[in-house]
Amino acid sequence: MLRLQRTKLGGLGLSLFRGLHHKPVMAVRREDVNAWERRAPLAPRHVKGITNLGYKVLIQPSNRRAIHDKEYVKAGGILQEDISEACLILGVKRPPEDKLMPKKTYAFFSHTIKAQEANMGLLDEILKQEIRLIDYEKMVDHRGIRVVAFGQWAGVAGMINILHGMGLRLLALGHHTPFMGAQEIFNELPCEYVEPHELKEVSQTGDLRKVYGTVLSRHHHLVRKTDGIYDPVDYDKYPEHYISRFNTDIAPYTSCFINGIYWETNTPRLLTRQDAESLLAPGKSPIVGVEGCPTLPHKLVAICDISADTGGSIEFMTECTTIEHPFCMYDADQHIIHDRKYNGVDIWKSWFTAKVSYSQIKRVASLSVEGSGILMCSIDNLPAQLPIEATEYFGDMLYPYVEEMILSDATQPLESQNFSPVVRDAVIASNGTLADKYKYIQKLRESRERAQSFSMATKKKVLVLGTGYVSEPVLEYLSRDANIEITVGSDIKNQIELLGKKYNINPVIMEIGKQEEKLGSLVAKQDLVISLLPYVLHPFVAKACITNRVNMITASYITPALKELEKSVEDAGITVIGELGLDPGLDHMLAMETIDKAKEVGATIESYISYCGGLPAPEHSDNPLRYKFSWSPVGVLMNIMQPATYLLNGKVVNVAGGVSFLDAVTPMDYYPGLNLEGYPNRDSTKYAEIYGISSAHTLLRGTLRYKGYAKALNGFVKLGLINRDAFPALQSEAKPLTWKELLCDLVGVSRSSKHDVLKEAVCKKLGGDNTQMAAVEQLGLLGNEQVPRAESVVDALSKHLAMKLSYGPGEKDMIVMRDSFGIRHPSGHLENKTIDLVVYGDVRGFSAMAKTVGLPTAMAAKMLLDGEIQAKGLIGPFTKEIYRPILERIKAEGIIYTTQSTISS
């Protein structure tokens, strides 16, 4: 233990005022901002030393402080709530702004020296109240080395945290590890220190029973840009002339990195986001993982940033973790913080007191440290986890300077105070102004405000085309970013007006397929276009985007017509992303996540079957189609007219669209309570190349419906109701037509025919199928209701069904998706994996279909605007760059999928 020595102040020309009646008073304030802050700036023995010098020391009561109040009273401190008598008030962390007292001297860690935005309100209040602020962080010696710090105990606590975190992370990755008991085995670790240049060798050929460590100094990773040499004198003068080779020479061979450097904006970063992307690439281990002993996805497992400097030397450490939630996962695309509670109990707290079981720890691993990426720990008050030791250590360092701080008179000019250089240079503010050394803080603030103002003046502009079912969740998600200006184009005036009342949009009424020039001029003003129109209009929109070199996003399939524009898209240097909804969209993303993970462990995909459907909730499915529309009726109806191709046990199966598609409908045996049926959807075989699974002998993508849907629609096909050809009798200039008259035309009887005659003709056309006949009658297709004006029969039927089979008040929809994989592992075992996604609509919110189509589309749009997606050309969501962030972000929106696997020989 360090011995306290009385401060030698004679050289400073100060008097101890012994024998005077009025002596300055000092107070130790209560820490009341953070519930975990149990440290104090001085321990009782330091208080005793100060009171022995004749000074009065007030101690503000605290049940949270690790060292009990009575110990301070024994040391001569006076316990009282009111500390207004004190001229010097010491704390560890910042006090609440409303508890500051004017014209006092305060000392604490203010976190203002980098103009940290979160603490500028505090600094303003300090200036307003003419407080003299001494910041411990700036108490340095003549070499610039800090003389007052908790550093040692931050390192100890940080090491304990990250070893514990490593244990949880490795458990989540399939390894049992002694790191689970980090506290007990910390001193027993079989460590060996090596030089930084030896890391590569030991990471590849070292003893697997050892933990290798290295200590890094500047000369190990910093080099001058011009000649690759490190010159310490030159670096201190011109740090901006240097780069760090940490990302190439050290990080690739590091499993756990503990960072404690101080970073300035003109000094090189250790790791950038781009570095993280490279380091998170799957490792090429010479050891093939097997069940029970998997290979790690990448070398770098964990980072403990003791500096807790957000956006500093580790660029992607964008927010601190906390003592109660010490870990998060970073996957180079986003910063994700997981819940660490088990049945309402915080495991981190209980870990220290042995109140949790091994099984509970394993459960926490699955909750908080699973997923892709690097485990991060960046607690900004680490020493608070060892509060007594940290208080003793810090107090030993601060004590020699306390007496001159007590003698500080905040009402007098700073220049008149006889401070030592250590204290003088740590004064941030005094007498209502920033000290000369810290006037740069105001310039930093002004610079940031100008940047923010410029950012607001240069909003990103997005054009959303279409006001259908999906548009609202897209608008809601994008509207969360105040820096996005949204224009909405549609030919449906009432819909666009309704959206305008809910969201801050620029409405534009236009017939998009007929006003090419207007569309082009509108697109030219945008940064991004989101097309939520019927799929036939996407090529029309894409051409406008190509001409004006504007990026585009759509939820729909990349159709042959859109595919024809691929070279033009590439030549224009823009990004056009399709298939970003549910099906297609999330189905692709979930498939690619499983496929990529299988490939990383050397496994192959032998089969892939995916079925997806948007349905009414079972209680709302009581109609002839067992279906209601929360998606474009035209697209749904036309889907059954498309031919389908799939691969089954190595053989290609072709299914014709139209009447014969009913032959391909099969009952689904999962979710038996839902009574589902499914049928193949379009060409599934092409996904062998798109997904990179040429090894698959079975490949099928299909649509789910309730049993009876396919048969009812088959009747519509027989009657010619699902026909996209132009039908002049339904167009605006023609005489109004009733459904009875239209059906007479379609089945070849006179429009004046009686109902029974028409019914007989329709029944004959349906081959006498009573179920199909009942569907036609129940939907009013033999009645005298007027047919909606439309370009084609199917367009008219679509409008009719949208009215008849729309969701009523209080009714909700659901989506059901089941992906099934057969995965052959290197060991020869076959893994049968299923992914299930079931989402219900919100009665007072968005439908399930709108959410699952609109939100992934909006997320991809935001990623493209923010530069997270760099790829160019006509693409789908088949790469990690796109699917990984979206699959993480949909969870926050309540779109949750589950997985299950069984292993067989």
Active site residues: 583
816 Cβ contact list (under 8 Å, min separation 6) = 612, 613, 615, 671, 674, 676, 704, 837, 838
CA distances for 903 relative to 372, 821, 831, 834, angstroms:
23, 12, 5, 12
Under DSSP, the state recorded for 288 is: P
Of the candidates 165, 262, 258, the one whose C-alpha atom is nearest the C-alpha of residue 214 is 258
The one-letter code for the residue type at 824 is R
Q: Which two tokens stand for residue 499?
A: 């959206």
544 alpha-carbon distance from chain centroid: 32
What gap in Å lies between CA 376 and CA 258, rounded to an integer? 10
Strand partners, 242: 224
d(CA 169, CA 281): 18
* Nearest of 610, 727, 619 to residue 679 by alpha carbon: 610
Three state DSSP letters for 296-313: CCCCCCEEEECCCCCCCC
Query: What are the start-end ranges of the E strands in 617-734?
Result: 644-648, 651-655, 666-667, 676-680, 698-706
Bridge partners, residue 58, by sequence: 27, 78
Question: How far is residue 185's CA from residue 376's CA, in Å, rounded to a whole number?
Answer: 22
Q: What are phi and psi of 783, to 5 degrees?
A: -95, -170
If one counts every other C-beta atom within 10 angstroms of the C-beta of residue 799, the result is: 16
User: Given the structure tokens 């508890």, which residue do they identify?
Assistant: 99
How far is it, in rounded angstroms, from Cα 398 to Cα 44? 13
- Cα–Cα distance between 411 and 443 in angstroms, integer? 26
Got the DSSP string for 551-600?
Answer: EEEESS---HHHHTTHHHHHHHT-EEE---BBTTBHHHHHHHHHHHHHHH
A 10 A CB-CB count for 447 gives 12
Are 852 and 895 contacting, i.e. CB atoms less than 8 angstroms apart? yes
Cα separation, 288 vs 699, in Å, equals: 28
Q: Retrieve residue 431's tokens.
A: 């007498």
Helix (H, G, I), strand (E, B) or coil at 16: coil
b or e along 403-419 (b: 16 or more beta carbons within 10 Å of the residue's beta carbon)?
Answer: bbbbbbebeeebeebeb
Find out whether 724 and 637 touch, Cβ atoms under 8 Å.
Answer: no
Environment class of residue 494 by beta-carbon count within 10 Å: exposed (0-12), middle (13-18) or buried (19+)? exposed
Q: Is 140 helix (H, G, I), strand (E, B) or coil?
A: strand
Gap between the Cα atoms of 889 and 333, Å rounded: 11
Helix (H) or strand (E) holding 852: helix 848-865
DSSP 8-class letter at 376: E
